[in-house]
């Protein structure tokens, strides 16, 4: 078997058919073995910060499905946690933090940042040693805007109104917060690459809630700074940007941030996706609900993506993370449908 890491080649612009495949949140609550490990770990943060558990749950979907890429198991909020903010996870409520005030941003303490995240770097090192040689290892972080939304509200909200209001009321504090998060997040990605990650992804899950001007200042500018920092350290490592909900702004996001590849959510029309693919690799973009539904809905969704985007550089993925209620057999069906596809 070849040790070629196909996902890396595709992210750099090569067309491979059938395309390589992985899933966002592929290590998670839809897998029975994950639920068992989660129970043994004691808490979600223990799962993230204990390399034994983090390596195990990262490898579980690779053992079961043989995905072409493995993504580090962690959480986007370990970055503010490493900056001294409190963080806990409650069942049914998700992440909870003490909301940060505008006058507290300047007090964010990054002195022990990398020491705090040392277990994550150890997890990456061990994963690269234990993964099959041909499996791409992806590192990741949250984009500054998306991380900031949780820091400001203290929890997830439907439309991130607290962060949007903060941005308008305290523009200087927001700029300072995004700058700090961009710098530290870029350092975090660089350390993951140093430890063995082949490529990295920046998740901007809440980019779609912003108006035009705010999208420029809160999404594009911080990520562009991150890309520049990572490229200075590792010029050849692909960077995937995933600005979920960016809509018509996807093209501008790619051009102005300089990301190598674009993660597309499931709402992106084929005509737009094909135009974006002319500029470089794309990743996505099956609706996760088609994966839950299975049957013809799943088959039709897979086939449509392959028909529209299979002629160019494509990493097959979902348009967002897999949901906990997804049947394992539907994942198996999706993988088979992609890998058995003919031109």
Write down the catalytic residue from 38, 85, 184, 337.
38
Write down the catalytic residue from 9, 29, 179, 252.
29
Q: Nearest to residue 294, comparing CAs of 339, 264, 263, 336?
A: 336
When computed from its CA atoms, the radius of gyration of the chain, rounded to whole angstroms, is: 19
For residues 114-139, one letter each, b for 16 or more C-beta atoms within 10 angstroms of the residue's C-beta and e for the rest, the string is eebbebbbbbbbbbbeebeeebbbbb
29 is catalytic: yes
Q: What is the dihedral angle through the alpha carbons of 5, 193, 280, 213, rounded to the nearest 10 degrees?
A: 150
75 is catalytic: yes
Between CA 256 and CA 39 the distance in angstroms is 43
Q: What is the dihedral angle through the alpha carbons of 142, 144, 147, 150, rounded to the nearest 10 degrees?
A: -160
Write down the catalytic residue from 5, 25, 191, 249.
25
Between CA 242 and CA 201 the distance in angstroms is 7
Q: What is the dihedral angle through the alpha carbons of 312, 315, 318, 321, rounded to the nearest 10 degrees?
A: -150
Q: Strands 69-71 and 136-142: what pairing? A: parallel
Write down the catalytic residue from 34, 49, 150, 250.
150
25 is catalytic: yes
Between CA 21 and CA 12 the distance in angstroms is 15
- H or E, element range at 283: strand 282-286
150 is catalytic: yes
The helix/strand/coil state of 318 is strand
Q: List, as own/partner pairs, every contact residues 327-330 make where C-beta atoms lie below 8 angstroms and the sequence separation is at least 24, other chains included.
A: 327/30, 327/292, 327/294, 328/30, 328/31, 328/32, 328/64, 329/294, 330/291, 330/292, 330/293, 330/294, 330/298
Tell me which residues are annotated as active site: 25, 29, 38, 75, 150
């Amino acid at each position: 078997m070849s040790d070629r890491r196909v996902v890396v080649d595709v992210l750099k612009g090569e067309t491979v058919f059938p395309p390589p495949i992985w899933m966002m949140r592929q290590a998670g609550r839809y897998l029975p073995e994950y639920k068992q490990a989660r129970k043994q770990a004691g808490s979600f943060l223990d799962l993230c910060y204990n390399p034994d558990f983090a390596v195990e749950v990262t490898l579980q979907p690779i053992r079961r499905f043989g995905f072409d890429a493995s993504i580090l198991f962690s959480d986007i909020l370990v970055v503010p946690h490493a900056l001294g903010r409190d963080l806990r996870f409650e069942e049914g409520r998700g992440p909870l933090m003490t909301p940060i005030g505008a006058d507290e941003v300047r007090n964010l303490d990054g002195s022990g940042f990398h020491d705090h995240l040392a277990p994550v770097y150890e997890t990456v090192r061990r994963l690269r040693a234990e993964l099959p040689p041909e499996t791409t290892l992806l590192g990741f972080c949250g984009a500054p805007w998306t991380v900031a939304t949780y820091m400001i509200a203290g929890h997830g909200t439907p439309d991130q109104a607290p962060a949007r209001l903060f941005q308008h009321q305290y523009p200087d504090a927001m700029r300072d917060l995004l700058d700090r998060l961009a710098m530290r997040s870029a350092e975090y990605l660089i350390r993951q690459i140093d430890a063995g990650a082949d490529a990295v992804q920046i998740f901007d899950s809440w980019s779609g809630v912003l108006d035009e001007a705010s999208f420029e200042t809160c999404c594009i500018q911080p990520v562009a700074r991150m890309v520049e920092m990572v490229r200075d350290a590792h010029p050849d490592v692909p960077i995937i940007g995933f600005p979920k909900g960016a809509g018509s702004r996807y093209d501008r996001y790619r051009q102005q941030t300089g990301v190598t590849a674009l993660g597309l959510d499931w709402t992106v029309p084929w005509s737009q996706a094909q135009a974006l693919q002319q500029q470089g690799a794309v990743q996505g973009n099956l609706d996760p609900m088609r994966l839950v539904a299975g049957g013809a809905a799943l088959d039709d969704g897979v086939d449509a993506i392959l028909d529209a985007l299979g002629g160019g550089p494509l990493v097959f993925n979902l348009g967002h993370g897999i949901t906990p209620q997804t049947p394992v057999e539907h994942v198996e069906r999706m993988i088979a449908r992609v890998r058995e596809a003919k031109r």
